[in-house]
Amino acid sequence: MPQEKPVLKALLDKLETRFGRFAVPGCIQLIATLQLIALVVFMLLPPDARQPYEDFLILDPSLVWQGQVWRLLTFVFIPASSVFVAVITALFMMWLGRGLDEAWGAFRVNLYVFGGMAAIAAGSLLFGHRGDAFWLHLTLLFAFATLYPNEEILLFFVLPVKIKWVALFSAAMLGLMVLASPIALIRVVFALLNYLVVFAPGFVQGRLHAARVANRRARFDQKATGAAEFFHQCRQCGRTEVDDPSLQFRVTDAGDEICAACRR
């Protein structure tokens, strides 16, 4: 993953060497395909028959605590209620998945996806709210936008928009949701926990590095400016040739500069 610290990267490399063969290739594309299959099944059912099937898959924490543990996995297979939105979402997920596979490889994508699902499920079980696939879609969008900020999509199939603006708009909507209902912050944090774990350390490290570079540049500029302002400075009075161009300076045996006025 990008911006990994050496220790974390070494750990991931070791895990990948040992368990990489168990990774599911095209994990995100597989989830999107299963969403499309579920959509087709729901479309073939009478309108009043869809809800029981959806209720069987949804992440309901009270039912999970009763032993229905399959819900920890199946909630990501539930498509959107609108056929158009469900198809567009699945196709968009496939596109995101191909980009993440190229950047990370199957093993790290699996860690990100299943880690995100685990975080969503943990928040649901601890605080009692239902989990849904929307939050997984969001973490995939944020990860892709961080890796490929200038990649463009056709909004409404017409308007080219960089993916970073789509992600920033989504983040702004989350911010407004939290402002309207502060309790939603818990749900947002758990839903985006995998993104924060992967990318937050790199962001912090980058900002600290930029601050150190700016500080070194400022000190260098200050020294350069100071050196350009004067060449001689009296050790006793502190005056320079900039203060009085007529001043004459002598160097003592100790190597200090003394102006003619102080030598009298």
The predicted-structure confidence for 14-60, as pLDDT tens digits, reads as follows 888 888 888 889 999 999 999 999 999 988 888 788 888 888 999 99
Distance separating alpha carbons of residues 194 and 136, to the nearest angstrom = 10
* Domain definitions of the chain by residue range: 6-201, 230-264
Mean pLDDT of the chain: 84
Tens-digit pLDDT profile for residues 65-99: 999 999 999 899 998 888 898 999 999 999 999 99
Distance separating alpha carbons of residues 195 and 197, to the nearest angstrom = 6
Q: Which amino acid is at 105?
A: G
Closest CA to 137 of 82, 81, 88: 88
Q: What is the CATH number of domain 6-201?
A: 1.20.1540
What is the value of pTM for the model shown? Answer: 0.74
Distance separating alpha carbons of residues 146 and 154, to the nearest angstrom = 18
Q: Where are the alpha helices (DSSP H) in the chain?
A: 6-19, 27-44, 50-57, 61-65, 71-74, 83-104, 106-127, 133-147, 163-180, 184-191, 193-229, 260-263
Residue 69 main-chain phi, psi, to 5 deg: -75, -15
What distance lies between CA 116 and its chain's CA centroid?
13
The string of DSSP letters for 47-100 reads GGGHHHHHHHHSB-HHHHHTT-TTHHHHGGGPPPSSHHHHHHHHHHHHHHHHHH
Q: Give the least confident one: 34-43, 85-94, 180-189, 246-255.
A: 246-255
Distance separating alpha carbons of residues 13 and 7, to the nearest angstrom = 10
Torsion sign across C-alpha atoms 121, 126, 132, 138? negative
Q: Place 3 in a pLDDT band, splitting at 50, 70 and 90.
A: very low
3-class DSSP assignment, residue 257: strand
**With contact defined as beta carbons under 8 Å apart, do 114 and 23 qualify?**
no
Give strand pairing partners of 153: 161
Closest CA to 121 of 107, 106, 136, 110: 136
Give strand pairing partners of 33: none
Closest CA to 30 of 85, 84, 98: 98
Distance separating alpha carbons of residues 189 and 177, to the nearest angstrom = 13
Tens-digit pLDDT profile for residues 127-172: 988 888 889 999 999 999 999 999 888 877 778 889 999 999 999 9
